[in-house]
Amino acid sequence: MDELTLDARVGNLNMVIRFISERLEAAGCSMRQQAQMTMAAEEVFVNIARYAYGQKSGGATVRVSVGDEITVEFEDIGKPYNPIDTRVPDITAGPEEREIGGLGVFMVKKLTDKVEYRREGEKNILTLRKILVPAPVLA
């Protein structure tokens, strides 16, 4: 797994997206798969940057591997948070009736095939998985 460790700041989002994109492109992932995984990764990283450490700052580690599936893993030592346990938002409700929160996690779950969370000691580890579908060969 390739790994990038950096400060969990929204200003570092471009580095995270570039890191992921370069690995997915090098592995031959389709543009669609790259877009889906980078959109999901953006949501996860921004949430870590905004909420994991409260008013303090902290780090984040992003890991990427590509085999039979694309795996993007995020690790931080912020406050415990399991996004899998968040309530599914009512997307049929209008914006004024909908409760705040949950749409980002909902989007991450829709863009990926599997989302896993675990807490190891002081670490939050969130893993996004997408089954690798080879890009079509153009004649």
Q: Would you give per-residue pLDDT tens digits along the chain (139 residues)?
A: 999 999 999 999 999 999 999 999 999 999 999 999 999 999 999 999 999 999 899 999 999 999 999 999 999 999 999 988 866 555 555 656 545 555 788 899 999 999 999 999 999 999 999 998 765 666 6
DSSP state of 97: T
Q: What pLDDT score was predicted for residue 95?
A: 59
pTM equals 0.87
Q: What pLDDT score was predicted for residue 103?
A: 74
Cα separation, 61 vs 48, in Å, equals 11
The 10 Å Cβ neighbour count of residue 82 is: 11
Domain ranges of the chain: 2-131
Contact 119, 82 (CB under 8 A): yes
What CATH architecture is 2-131? 2-Layer Sandwich (3.30)
Contact 128, 54 (CB under 8 A): no
Q: What pLDDT score was predicted for residue 49?
A: 96
Q: What pLDDT score was predicted for residue 92?
A: 54
Q: What pLDDT score was predicted for residue 99?
A: 54
Contact 79, 54 (CB under 8 A): yes
